[in-house]
Amino acid sequence: MTVGRLVNIAITNLGLIFSVRGRTFPDIRPWSGKRGTMSVPEAVYLWQQPYLAAVCETDNGLMMIRIYEALAAIEQRRLTPVEPDGDEDRALVAAEVGLKALIAERIGEVNG
């Protein structure tokens, strides 16, 4: 699975399941050759910002730095109570799963 595909899956999951608001912008990319809209994920919770930065990171040299920052932000959030099985709890679990997938892929690239 490529990084691009994983990013697409993560962003799709974020948008559909875990209450990350999607803002709609006009598609002004000149190379796309078509008019339409594209959805950009926006963090609902403060800890989601570094998570989204990790998911959207394309520079392999910065990937582990971004992932670590996201893990630290999640750990920091977990220090205070989160409503069990609430929206934020589910978003946290989803982010942890997403980060583990990113790590597994990155480690696979390094070793393979």
Partner 1 sequence: MSNTEQATGIAVLPDAANTIQTFHPVSKRLLIADDDPTVRGVIRTFVEADGYEVCGEAADGVEAIDRAAKLKPDLILLDLAMPRLNGAEAASILRQAMPKVPILLFTLYADDFGERLASAVGVNVVLSKPEGLSKLGKHLKALLNPKDEPPTSASSRA
Report the alpha-carbon distance of residue 37 to residue 80 in Å, rounded. Answer: 38
Q: Which is nearest to 47 in space by CA: 24, 21, 77, 22?
A: 77
Per CB under 8 A, the list member of 4, 79, 80, 84 interacting with partner 1 is 79
Cα-trace Rg, the chain: 15
Cβ closer to partner 1: 93 or 103?
103
Stretch of residues binding partner 1 (CB under 8 A), selected from 13-21, 30-38, 83-91, 95-103: 95-103
Could you say whether residue 28 binds partner 1 (CB under 8 A)? no
Contacts with partner 1 by CB under 8 A lie at 64-69, 71-73, 75-76, 79, 96, 99-100, 103, 106-107, 110
